[in-house]
Amino acid sequence: MTSKIIGVGNYIPSQSISNLFFDQHLFLDESGVTLKQDNATIAGKLKEITGIEERRYAGNDQVNSDLGFIAAQAAIKDSGIDPETLDYIIFAHNFGDVRFGTIQSDMVPSLASRVKHLLNIKNNFCVAYDLVFGCPGWIEGVIQAHAFIKAGIAKKCLVIGAETLSRVVDMHDRDSMIYADGAGAAVLAIGTEESGIKSHISASYTQEEKDYLYFGKSYHNESSPDIRFIKMNGRKIYEFALLQVPVAMKKCLDDSGYTIGELNKIIIHQANEKMDEAIVKRFYKLYDTPMPEHIMPMVIHKLGNSSVATIPSLLTMILKGELPDHRIETGDVVLFASVGAGMNINAFVYKV
C-alpha cells in the first residue's frame, strides 16, 4: 500500500513587496556597523544570488493559521472529499501565529487545531497537530501522512505548510529581504501500486550544523536584546546544502527503483536560486549526467522564500497550469526535496 496526493491548494498573499521596499532601510552588520554598500547595490546583489525580485507579505489582519486555512480549503475542494473523513490534519510551520505589529508567537492551541475549527470539522477523531521541522516541514508532514496511510492508521490526511516570515525578520539585517509569507496544502489518500509515494528519506544534522539557522538579537545595538529574529549563516548553509542534499536526493531516487533518465521534474524548496541550481547540477553529476532544461521550476523571483510553503505552493501552481514552461502529467516521476533549520534534509519520489 502507498499514498497519493488527491488534491492541492495554495494561498499566495496579494501584497507584493518589491526590492524597492527596502531602499530606505538601515542595514547593519553583526556588530551594528552600517554596511558600506548603498541599498540599491545590496538589493542588486540579492537578486543576483537568490533571484528574488519580489516577495509576498500577508495582510495586516491575517495570521499564519488564516493562510493555512485558505490553502486547506482549496486543497479539500480540489480533492472532492468530505472534510469529515479526514483522519489527520498536519500543519507544518516554525513560528506559529504572529500578529502584525507584535513580537510574540502564539502556538496554543496548535495551528492545526485552529484550522480544523475554521473548517468546522466535527469529527473528534480527526487528529490535528503541528510539525516544526524547519523549511522541510511540509515534506516531513507528507512523509508522516504516508506512514499513517501505509500502516492502515489513516485513509485521508491533510498536510499544510504555511509561514509568515515577514513577522520575524530583523529589518536591519539584509537577509530579511529573502523571506516571504504564503501557504500550500495537499490531501493524501490511499494510492495504488501504479502511482503515489515510492520512496522517502529524512535526516537531521545537529553536530556542527545545528545553529546555521537560529533565533538571534537584532543587528541594531539599541534594540532590546530580549527580542529575537530569524538569523542565518548563509555561507555555511550553502556549503552544507551542496555537500549533503544531492547525496540524499540520489539515495531517495535509487531507493525508488527509478533511474535518473526516468525523472521528469524536481520540485525543490525555493530557498535561493543559485543554491538550488547548484544542488540539482551536483545531483545530476553524481550520475555523470548533465542537468536537463526545465527540470527544476523556480518561482522564488516573484514569491521569495516562504519556508514550508514554497513546495506545496509551487506544486499547486504547476498542477493548475499557472507555469507555462512546466507540466506534470500522469505517469511522470517527480522528486521533491528540501533543506532547512535543524539542519534537516528530506526528499520523496512520487509517481503521478
Residue spans of the domains in the chain: they are: 2-193, 197-351
Nearest-CA neighbor of 252 among 303, 315, 183, 198? 198
Would 2-193 and 197-351 be classified into the same CATH topology? yes
Instruction: Please tell me the distance from the alpha carbon of residue 39 to that of residue 24, in angstroms, as a whole number.
Output: 7
Rg of the chain over Cα atoms, rounded to whole angstroms, equals 20
Percent of the chain with pLDDT over 70: 100
Decide: 194 and 340 in contact? Cβ < 8 Å: no
Nearest to 93 by CA among 200, 202, 183, 206: 183
pLDDT surpasses 80 at 278: yes
The CATH number that domain 2-193 falls under is 3.40.47.10
- Report, as an integer, the average pLDDT of 324-335: 94
Confidence at 246, pLDDT banded by 50, 70, 90: very high
CB-based contact 236:341 (threshold 8 Å):
no
Q: Is residue 225 over pLDDT 90?
A: no
Looking only at the bridges linking them, the beta strands covering 54-57 and 15-18 are antiparallel
3 state DSSP class of 282: helix
Residue 286: what pLDDT? 97
273-285 vs 234-256: helix crossing angle, rounded to 10: 40
- Tell me, what's the pLDDT at 102? 87
In tens, the pLDDT along 102-121 reads 888 999 999 999 999 999 99
32: confidence class by pLDDT, cuts 50, 70, 90: confident
Mean local confidence (pLDDT), 276-301: 96
pLDDT at site 116: 98
Measured in degrees and rounded to the nearest 5, phi and psi for residue 200 equal -155, 160
Domain 197-351 fold is Peroxisomal Thiolase; Chain A, domain 1 (3.40.47)
pLDDT at 222 over 80: no
pLDDT at position 320: 95
The tally of CA atoms less than 13 A away on the side-chain side of residue 271 is 26
pLDDT, greater one: 208 or 225:
208
Reading the block at residue 59, the C-alpha cell is 495582510
- What does pLDDT average to over the chain? 95
pLDDT of residue 258: 97
**Per-residue pLDDT, 29:** 87
**Quick one: pLDDT at residue 299?**
96
pLDDT of amino acid 186 = 98
